[in-house]
Structure 1
Amino acid sequence: MEWTSAQLRSLVELTRRGTVTAAAEALGYTPGAVSQQLGALERAAGMALLRRVGRRVELTDAGRALAAHAERMLGIAADAVAALERTTHTVSGVLHVGLFATAAAEILPLALARAQNEHPGLTVHSREMVVDEVYDAVAAGSVDLALGLDYPDVPIPRDPALRLIRMLRERFSLALPEGVLSGAREISLADARDLGWILPDLDTHYGQAILTVCRRAGVEPHVRHQVTDTAASLALVEAGVGITPVTDLMLRLRPSRFRVVDLTERFERHIVVIVRATAQSRPTVAALIGVLRKLATAGE
């Protein structure tokens, strides 16, 4: 049986995401391309791996059996690439990087410019992803490393095969419309309970972290708007329709006119690099992590 990494990765992502469309989004392919990869994998396996149920597809017993091994096979392949790269001791090659929207706007341009200057033999291909999916993307081998977010109050579940390297610690404040709680330089969550919150989907890590901090303080925030995009949340605060938690990095996304007030309670997030443990010592990976560390240190 001969199959490719792309075919196995399509199977792994279908298993993780549940639909061809979601798998395609995670991989940066079109749904048609993922279907072609899965069809080729079935031909290589010589048996049906999928069956159609209505408008969806689901794995057959053979598909589930292969999927259980596919992730390990991809991990072994990634480890082999890392071992080969370590023998060269040169920073030369291609890295695939996943990152969330704020990092794409504020961190990636500076990182690419510095990496190009310090390591001209390194080529970086980046892909913006939903922040809660970057951890799985590294685990599945879709990217070599990723920039993600970790919240001490709701930490990412740890996989022993992966490493989280903290780049930057950010403390949240509250963005308030002009005229709201005028004169206050620091407020508690209890003070802000009924001001009308602008929050992300509460099922996300970010949403769960906010709820955890609020409930620890005995507060159930009155959510008026659920918005994922940070720039849109800041625009709503500027329009005077609610309040939202912010960090310094988030504030740089959109010049806005509103007040930023410190929170009495401590609410933090960590910007982290997620990488396979065996890939940390790859010259290309280590070089890019080094660049990111310098940027994080300069920004503190």
Structure 2
Amino acid sequence: MDWSSVQLRSLVELRRRGTVTAVAAALGYTPGAVSQQLNALERSAGVPLLHRVGRRVELTDAGVALAGHARQILDIEADATAALERSAGAVAGELQVALFATAAADILPVLLTTVRDRHPGLVVRSREMVVDDVYDAVASGTADLAIGLEYPDVPIRRDPSLRVVRLYRERFSLAVPTGSMSRSGPLSLAGTGPPLGWILPPEDTHYGQAIRVVCRRAGIEPELRHEVNDTAASLALVEAGIGVSTVTPLMLRLRPSRFDVLPIAETFERHIAVVVRSSAEHRPSVAALVQVLRELAKSG
């Protein structure tokens, strides 16, 4: 049978995500291109892999079976790539990195200049993504490495095929309009609320879940006034006196703003982490990039 890695990856992602549209978003293709890959794979397999249910397509039993083997084939391909790199004895080639917007603005420029100086044979390409999607990007093989976030109160679902390396920890503070709250020490979240409401990310995000867990543990239900997923937009609203939000040092570096930053009595933290496939962990190019990120985290 003659099939490509893209075809197999499309099948694996369809099993994982359930819709062609979701697969297209994850792989960076159009839905039409994903459908073409799946149709070509079906022709190569010689048996029906998909069947239509209303406006959606679902995997047949044969499709489910092949998806399981496809994951193994992709892992073997990754192992072969790592073996070839090790035999060459040099850090070279090309890596695709997925990362969230704040990391793209703050971490990526220093990472790229350091890699350029230290490993001139290594080409790094990047793709900005919604932070909660970067783990799936590595799992699916669309990214070799990802820079993401993990919240202790909402831990990442551990996949044995992935390795999560924590780089450093950030503690959240409270961003409030200038002069709106006067405190000599850490502020309990129980002391927030009307007349200032909260500016929060959606509850279906890891960050949104984590802040709500912390607030409820403190005995309050945050009064949501504005649901905003973009960090810069949240900070702009706080600066305008619209409400309060939580911030970390990395967030504050994204957009210089004029508001008060108050320490929080409750523990609310997140970890900046790098994610790689377990099969690629010892690939020289991947290991070199992880090492640079570790060094930057220590020096930052």
TM-score for the superposition, normalised by structure 1: 0.95
Once residues 280 and 68 of structure 1 are traced to their aligned partners in structure 2, the CA distance between those partners, rounded to angstroms, is 22
Q: CA deviation at 1:184?
A: 4.7
Once residues 241 and 15 of structure 1 are traced to their aligned partners in structure 2, the CA distance between those partners, rounded to angstroms, is 43
Structure 1 window deviating more from structure 2 (122-131 vs 68-77): it is 68-77
Contact 2:75/2:279, CA 8 A, preserved across alignment = no
In structure 1, stretches of 5+ residues that fail to align are: none
> Which residue is 2:240 aligned to?
239
Q: CA deviation at 1:70?
A: 1.6
Contact 1:162/1:277, CA 8 A, preserved across alignment = yes
Q: CA deviation at 1:52?
A: 2.7
Contact 1:91/1:122, CA 8 A, preserved across alignment = yes
Once residues 228 and 75 of structure 1 are traced to their aligned partners in structure 2, the CA distance between those partners, rounded to angstroms, is 34
Task: Report the count of equivalent residues.
Answer: 299
Once residues 205 and 273 of structure 1 are traced to their aligned partners in structure 2, the CA distance between those partners, rounded to angstroms, is 16
What does the per-residue CA deviation read over 1:250-296, in whole Å, with 9 as the maximum and x for residues that have no partner?
Answer: 11111211111110111110000111223122110111111111211
1:179 aligned counterpart, secondary structure: coil
Matches within 5 A, 1:281-296: 281-296=282-297
Corresponding letter in the other structure for 1:158: R
> Which residue is 1:49 aligned to?
49
Q: CA deviation at 1:53?
A: 3.0
Matches within 5 A, 1:128-207: 128-194=128-194, 195-207=196-208
| Structure 1 moving runs of 4+ over 6 Å | none
> Which residue is 1:19 aligned to?
19
Contact 1:184/1:261, CA 8 A, preserved across alignment = no
Q: CA deviation at 1:50?
A: 1.8
Q: CA deviation at 1:185?
A: 4.7
2:105 aligned counterpart, secondary structure: helix
TM-score for the superposition, normalised by structure 2: 0.95
Structure 1 window deviating more from structure 2 (208-217 vs 267-276): it is 208-217
Q: Over the residues paired in the alignment, what is the CA RMSD in angstroms?
A: 1.4
> Which residue is 2:264 aligned to?
263
Contact 1:190/1:219, CA 8 A, preserved across alignment = yes
> Which residue is 1:280 aligned to?
281
Q: CA deviation at 1:75?
A: 1.5
Q: Identity, % of aligned pairs?
A: 68
Q: CA deviation at 1:191?
A: 0.7
Once residues 296 and 109 of structure 2 are traced to their aligned partners in structure 1, the CA distance between those partners, rounded to angstroms, is 11
Q: CA deviation at 1:119?
A: 0.4
What does the per-residue CA deviation read over 1:108-145, in whole Å, with 9 as the maximum and x for residues that have no partner?
Answer: 11101110111000011111122112112212222111
2:152 aligned counterpart, secondary structure: coil
